[in-house]
A = this chain, B = another copy of it.
Amino acid sequence: MAKQRLPYTEDQERLARYAKALAHPARIYILQFLERQCACYVGNIVDELPMAQSSVSQHLKELKEAGFIQGAVDPPRVKYCINREQWLEAQALFAAFFGQGE
């Protein structure tokens, strides 16, 4: 039996990680917003979402840790934008995943 196999492949782990970052509509919204705006401040995002500033900050942190976005301090504000390199990697992983069947 294969029970003592190494758990999962690197790609499976990474895909699951990206998927988890996308597993909340607020984070989907933020990423789509950043796609349109190219870059924007935290306050702009807070104004758009139906939740507290601290909650938005938490979602931004998760997107950053997943690699989807990156922040740059622009005192007294923080400007966020898509991390294009990681975005493309995620895109490729999802495309490969969904491309298997067809």
Chain A contact residues, majority secondary structure = helix
Contact residues in B for A19 (Cβ distance below 8 Å):
19-23, 28
How far, in whole Å, are A12 and B30 apart by their CA atoms in the complex? 11
Contact residues in B for A2 (Cβ distance below 8 Å):
47-48
Known contacts being A23-B16, A23-B23, is A3 close to B47, with CB within 8 Å?
A: yes
Q: In this complex, what residue of B is CB-closest to A14?
A: B25
Contact residues in B for A84 (Cβ distance below 8 Å):
101
How far, in whole Å, are A32 and B20 apart by their CA atoms in the complex? 17
How far, in whole Å, are A101 and B85 apart by their CA atoms in the complex? 12
List A residues at the B interface (Cβ < 8 Å).
1-5, 7-8, 12-13, 15-16, 19-29, 31-32, 35, 47-48, 50, 82, 84, 87-88, 90-91, 94-95, 97-98, 100-102
